[in-house]
Amino acid sequence: MVVRVFTGLFKLATLLALFLLVLPFIPMSLDFEPQANTASLPGFVGPLAPNNKLDAVEFLFKNKLRGPESLAVYKGSIYTGTEGGEIYKITGGKVTLVAKLGRKCEGLWEEEVCGRPLGMRFDKEGKLYVVDAYYGVYMVNVNTGAAQHLLPAGTEVEGKRILFLDDLDIDDQGILYITEASGKWQLNKILYTIMEHEDTGRVLKFDTKTRKTTVLMKNLRLPNGVQLSQDKQSLLVCELGTRRVLRHHLGGARKGQTEVFADNLPGEPDNIRPSKRGGYWVAFATGRGNDSTNIFDLVARYPLVKKATIRFVYLLGAAVKYADRFYPSPALKDLGAQLENGWVLYGSYPKYGLVVELDAGGHIVRSLHSPQHKIHMLSEVLEHEGHLYLGSYRNPFLGRVKL
């Protein structure tokens, strides 16, 4: 009996292994063609030496704010956007709904219907500009909740339609600088963008007065966080796919030129925001050094492994979604999305929290760690009134640590 069971399991395992081996070569409609890539990681020494400063984090508004990705301050209150398309105002210990982007939806398995606010900034007049990953750029009146659609997704800019916008900044003349993370995949398939290592990302320039949009930078590998430099003479762009920050000169003798501002970062950088010392805070979903690489780092140089992995979860998700047609349930819909979009693979990422402070020259001068996994999956740092507020695309709370 034991031999028959073992033999059956062995045959099943063999068939599964053979299926995975041929999976990258089976014709499919899924246009996923990964490239080999490598990116070095620094050692955790000097200003990157491990500490436990983030382990002292407070969890604010737990299960009330789900995925507070980006944070903006106006008249002492903090504003953020969450899963489901909502924008909230935080004043003291109170959370108030300001606006709802997107449309009514059943659940996050149809996030592209719900809407997803990401980067947000206030201009000098108190108007809130928000990037929705699926719908485009809005201007929100935080007093009335009215949202004006300024730059819809799908708008054609220099021959390519806008697909997945991520972050933005605004100058004193009303010019928006907006990152388009990918021109191929939407936010719900951001893992495809990362693993494919594709270079369809752009930085757009949008004039709020004339409504004209132009391309400032292109051929980027998942550009996300964007920040005007302290002197307003250049634009800093986090390029997640290469673990670096780029500087694009907006004025001066080097106008129009792009250079590396910070390289060899300890993870994939998300948003970048100013610090009170003339530098910048950069957040990482999962920080790591050169002695703590993860499974994604190991397979990055093997396109066929990446292709088989994504095809496998995609097919499983498609099967679950097909089953939901006959036995509809929220659980099946959620599982189908988790599989098809690759979200199930997030569990393979190390749960190491990390943020770093760069100086005006792009050098790391300070880092805050959470080696005990108290907090991770960080997207943005807001330095405000002696604290760091820690945004996240996935955490169901707003983090806060005292400086």
pLDDT at 124 over 70: yes
Q: What is the mean pLDDT of the chain?
A: 93
The residue behind tokens 């200003």 is: 47
The pLDDT value given to residue 19: 46
**Tens digit of each residue's pLDDT (9 = 90 or more) over 29-51:** 799 999 999 878 999 999 999 99
For residue 164, give every residue at least 6 positions away whose Cβ sits within 8 Å of its Cβ, in sequence order, or none.
Answer: 133, 134, 153, 180, 181, 182, 183, 185, 186, 187, 190
In this prediction, residues 137-146 reach a mean pLDDT of 98
In this prediction, residues 243-249 reach a mean pLDDT of 98
In this prediction, residues 12-29 reach a mean pLDDT of 49
In this prediction, residues 102-107 reach a mean pLDDT of 93
The amino acid at residue 8 is: G
In this prediction, residues 138-165 reach a mean pLDDT of 98
As a whole number of Å, the CA-based R_g of the chain is 22
In this prediction, residues 142-158 reach a mean pLDDT of 98
**Tens digit of each residue's pLDDT (9 = 90 or more) over 189-208:** 999 999 999 999 999 999 99
Helices 303-326 + 2-22 axis angle, to 10: 110
**Three-state secondary structure of 37-68:** CCCCCCCCCHHHCCCCHHHHCEEECCCCCCCC
Look up residue 311 and give its DSSP letter. Answer: H
Hey, what domains does the chain have and what are their CATH numbers?
A: 25-402 (2.120.10.30)
CB 232 within 8 A of CB 360: no
Alpha helix (H) residue ranges in 264-326:
295-299, 303-326
DSSP symbols for 236-260: EEEEGGGTEEEEEE-SSTTTT-EEE
The pLDDT value given to residue 25: 53
For the chain, percent of residues with pLDDT exceeding 70: 93
**Tens digit of each residue's pLDDT (9 = 90 or more) over 257-280:** 999 999 999 999 999 999 999 999
Confidence of residue 295 (pLDDT cuts 50, 70, 90): confident
For residue 114, give every residue at least 6 positions away whose Cβ sits within 8 Å of its Cβ, in sequence order, or none.
Answer: 83, 84, 85, 102, 103, 105, 108
By CB atoms closer than 10 A (0-12, 13-18, 19+), residue 45 is exposed
Distance of CA 257 to the CA centre of its chain: 25
The pLDDT value given to residue 24: 55
pTM greater than 0.85: yes
Confidence of residue 348 (pLDDT cuts 50, 70, 90): confident
The pLDDT value given to residue 28: 62
CB 194 within 8 A of CB 184: no
Confidence of residue 297 (pLDDT cuts 50, 70, 90): confident
Confidence of residue 16 (pLDDT cuts 50, 70, 90): very low
In this prediction, residues 63-67 reach a mean pLDDT of 97
Please state the φ and ψ torsions of residue 202, each to the nearest 5 degrees: -140, 165
DSSP percent split of the chain into helix, strand, coil, nearest 5: 25, 35, 40
Q: How far separated are the first and last CA of the chain, in Å rounded?
A: 64
Instruction: Measure the CA–CA gap between 386 and 259, rounded to whole angstroms.
Output: 33
The amino acid at residue 243 is: R
- Of the listed ranges 23-27, 34-38, 317-321, the least confidently predicted one is 23-27
CB 396 within 8 A of CB 62: yes
The pLDDT value given to residue 268: 95
